[in-house]
Every structure is written in C-alpha cells, then in structure tokens.
Amino acid sequence: MYLYYIMWQWLAYKKGKSLHKTYKFSLCHHVTWGSIQLGSFMYKIAIPFIFGPAGGGQKSSVAFKKYFGSAWAEEEKREKISKLMFKFNPACKTMLKKAKSILVSNPDTANAVKAQGLTNYISALDAALPLDFFPENFKTKELKQNTLNLLWVGRFLPRKGILLILEVMEKLKSFPGIKLTVVGDGQQRDLFLESIKEKELEKNVIWEGNIPFNEVKTMYQNHDVFFFTSLRDSGPTQLVEAMAYGMPVVTINIHGQSFIVSDKTGFRCGCETPEQAIEELYNSILKLYNNQELVTSMSREANSFALKQTWQNKIKTVIEQSYPI
C-alpha cells in the first residue's frame, strides 16, 4: 500500500507540474491522507507549498499492548515502517524542509516535525463539520436521577481501545444507572462480545453494531457523555461530532484527544499504565454521574467549541495562518 501511494504521489506531482504551465498557480496546498510520513512531491513545483493538516507522529504505548491482542506485532511493524518513511521517503524528508507550512493535527506530530530540526509547523485540527450537522435546537445535557448514558462510536480496530472501555465498565457495575451504548463493528468483534460475557456486562453494555449515519446523530442526541479511549489516533472526528450535540468527553490524554478535548469540555485521563487509565476514567465518569451542574457546564462548552470547528471557519483560519499574502 505504501509503495502504491508513493507512486500515486509522484504521478499527481507530474500532473500538477503540467497544469502549472497552463494556469500559473500561486501556491500549492496538499490535503490528503493524514500522515506526514507519506508526504507529497508537490513541493517540487516552484511555488509556495503547504501540507496538511496531517498526523503521523502518534505511537501506541507498549504498556497497552494486551488490548491489541495478536495485532500488536502489526502495530510494531507499522512503527518501524513509519521511522523508515521519515528517514528515506523523499516525499516526506525533503517536503518537510521545503514546505512553507506544515499543518499538524496533534502534539505528537508537532514533535516529529521538531525532531527533524524544523519549526515550520502550525497546529490545526484535521476534523471539521458542515453547518447542517448541528442540532437545530441545541439543549445542554440534563441527567435523569441516578442515570448516566455513555456512548462509544468507532470501528473495532485494535488501536481503538474498545477492550479497555469494558474494563472500566466492569469497575462501574455497582452503579446500575450507568449504561454504555457501543456503535460500530470490526476486527475485534468476537473479543468484544466474549469480554462482555466474561465480565457479565450484558445489562451494562448495549451493542448496536453498524448503523446509518443519521441514526448516529440520534445517538449523540439521546446520550449524555461520549466515552472514547483510542490508543492511537490522529484527530478523531467523533469527538467533534459528539461535542456538537453537547456531549462532554471522557478520554485518555494522548494524541489527537489531548488536543481536541479541554478541561472545560471533558476529562483527559492519565494513561502511563492501564491501571492508571482505568482508575482515572472510572473516577471521571463518577464525577459526571454525581454532578448535574458539571455536566451542564461541560455540555455548553463542548457545543461552543464544536461551533468553531466548521469547514468555513477552518478554511478561513488556514488561509489567514498559512497562505502567503
């Protein structure tokens, strides 16, 4: 796949160079797959070049390898390839030096650019929403007594941390009013279902599988808190989607999550070890369960943050920050 993409990049550059002879472009902005390692050859056109927003600097912690199961070997392989791409891929190494601006979607990717001795980067989310995504009549979340409805949305990839969430839910079993709805399917489905049965979570965790996107919006509307523990993620769009519907977010303090979520919109829990993550996630959920005012405040702040993440605002900000005048 990597070789195919590099070949595609080269052909795209050749096409861009040919078009430049006719249209005399003022600049080139490459917006594509979300990893700087794969890069772009468009910098070779003799005009100002901008790349991103992109991630790629994030790495899964070995402390959480058990949640990957047999896929951990693949995760290690990915990291080795990533390092090689940084070092040898001409579409990455030279591109980083030639670019006027590199838009990075998380702190880990900013650090990866800095590790190359460069400072030509700007932090920018790679997630945004259309205006028609937001609810017509927004209302802050209000809890029913002794009830907290959590929501998880995503693919069941090993790096998404769905098995970690079940360990937190097991710890919350003594609070029958706290329920988790899971939307999604994928590679770890069997492990997910086996873990629910083993931990006796059938009454606490509801699995919806894959559903149409309009129904996902309804899920955002009808649940209280978004619960997200991806172990490697550039900039999860689900977080901004959930916040558009006023959902406070409980997550772990890594990668894109650490950049998107703030102390006003949710909880970013420590994750040096699984034990620390489970304990802090558990405590954060209970803080929301026991504090309606906190839920209301975070709900309002979450929606306010999401309203700033529209495509119109993103385009305006990128132009103001990165484009030559």
Residues 29 and 166 in one domain: no
Please state the φ and ψ torsions of residue 225, each to the nearest 5 degrees.
-135, 140
* Token pair belonging to 21: 């002879």
Write the pLDDT tens digit of every residue in 199-245: 999 999 999 999 999 999 999 999 999 999 999 998 899 999 999 99
Q: Can you tell me the distance from the alpha carbon of 154 to that of 94, in angstroms, rounded to the nearest whole number?
A: 35
Residues 120 and 182 in one domain: no
Q: What is the pLDDT of residue 90?
A: 83
Residues 162 and 35 in one domain: no
Q: Which domain does 17 fall in, by range?
A: 2-126+312-322
Q: What CATH number has the domain bearing residue 155?
A: 3.40.50.2000
* 121 in Cβ contact with 101 (< 8 Å): yes
Residues 285 and 155 in one domain: yes
Residues 15 and 156 in one domain: no
* 266 in Cβ contact with 302 (< 8 Å): yes
* Closest CA relative to residue 38, chosen from 87, 2, 84, 75: 2
What length is written for the chain? 325
* 53 in Cβ contact with 105 (< 8 Å): yes
Does residue 129 come out as left (phi exceeding 0), alpha (psi in the -120 to 50 range) or beta? beta
Percent of the chain at pLDDT above 90? 88
Residues 156 and 228 in one domain: yes
Residues 171 and 256 in one domain: yes
Edge-to-edge strands, sheet with 28-30: 28-30, 49-54, 101-104, 121-123
Q: How many CA atoms lie within 13 A of 242 on its CB side?
A: 28
* 242 in Cβ contact with 151 (< 8 Å): yes
Q: What is the pLDDT of residue 189?
A: 97
Q: What is the pLDDT of residue 32?
A: 73
Residues 211 and 106 in one domain: no
Q: Can you tell me the distance from the alpha carbon of 313 to that of 65, in angstroms, rounded to the nearest whole number?
A: 38
pLDDT of 8 > 80? The answer is: yes
Alpha-carbon dihedral angle through residues 56, 234, 317, 240, given to the nearest 10 degrees? 170
Write the pLDDT tens digit of every residue in 141-165: 999 999 999 999 999 999 999 999 9
Residues 194 and 114 in one domain: no
Residues 164 and 298 in one domain: yes
Q: Domains in the chain: how many in total?
A: 2
Residues 103 and 163 in one domain: no
Write the pLDDT tens digit of every residue in 260-287: 999 999 999 999 999 999 999 999 999 9
Residues 98 and 142 in one domain: no
